Amino acid sequence: MTEPAQGMRRGRRLAIDVGDARIGVASCDDGILATPVETVPGRDVPAAQRRLKQLVDEYEPIEIVVGLPRSLNGREGPAAAKIRLFTQELARLVAPIPVRLVDERMTTVTASQGLRASGVKSKKGRSVIDQAAAVIILQQALESERASGKAPGEGVEVVI
């Protein structure tokens, strides 16, 4: 087994790609390789957050990274505001596990292109694209931590 890079914190992480209809979840062990976990239905937010809490209890991660959608120029719009509210509630549910927001620009596009290139049909792809985007979010967060030696993105404070 490969050891984590110097400066990497040991432990499992979960990544979440929040969409309106679905939420993709990915995980990694010891900061090595991100793999898909499942797609959680996202329209019923309380039910989705309960399922995410169950996954956190099951996987026992050292942190959760959530993709923060930004426009190509880096600005945050209504989608980012919605994700910030979602992560506030998630952080409260999973405390004391830290929740971090990381830039997710282009992850869904990259995931779609990768699935198409590997021969996954678009109808079947919709059920796994959010997981693939979560994998990309987590890989980018791991690469950021390897490069900087610091936790990726920005922390979400728990508001009670």
pLDDT of residue 159: 74
pLDDT in tens, 39-83: 999 999 999 999 999 999 999 999 999 999 887 777 888 989 999
For residues 43 and 136, give the distance between their C-alpha atoms in angstroms, rounded to a whole number: 23
Is 70 within a domain? Answer: yes
Task: Give this prediction's pTM.
Answer: 0.83
pLDDT at 138: 94
Residue 13 structure tokens: 């992480």
Q: How confident is the model at residue 112 (pLDDT cuts 50, 70, 90)?
A: low
% of the chain residues with pLDDT over 90: 53
- Smallest CA-to-CA distance from 15 within 3, 33, 1, 2 is with 33
Tell me if 106 is assigned to some domain: yes
What was the pLDDT predicted at 41? 95
CA dihedral 88, 106, 25, 102 (to 10 degrees): -40
pLDDT tens digits along 115-139: 555 565 655 556 677 888 899 899 9
| Residue 160 belongs to a domain | no
**Is 8 domain-assigned?**
no
Q: How far apart are CA 110 and CA 93, in angstroms?
A: 30
* Inside any domain, residue 86: yes
For residue 137, the enclosing domain spans 13-153
Q: Is residue 141 part of a domain?
A: yes
**Do the bridges between strand 13-18 and strand 22-28 make them parallel or antiparallel, or are there none, so unpaired?**
antiparallel
Q: What is the pLDDT of residues 54-66, one digit of tens each?
A: 999 999 999 999 9
Q: What CATH number did the domain enclosing 58 receive?
A: 3.30.420.140
Whether residue 124 is contained in a domain is answered as yes
Least confident of 39-43, 94-98, 143-147: 143-147
Total count of domains within the chain:
1
- Asked whether residue 38 is assigned to any structural domain, the reply reads yes
pLDDT at 1 over 80: no
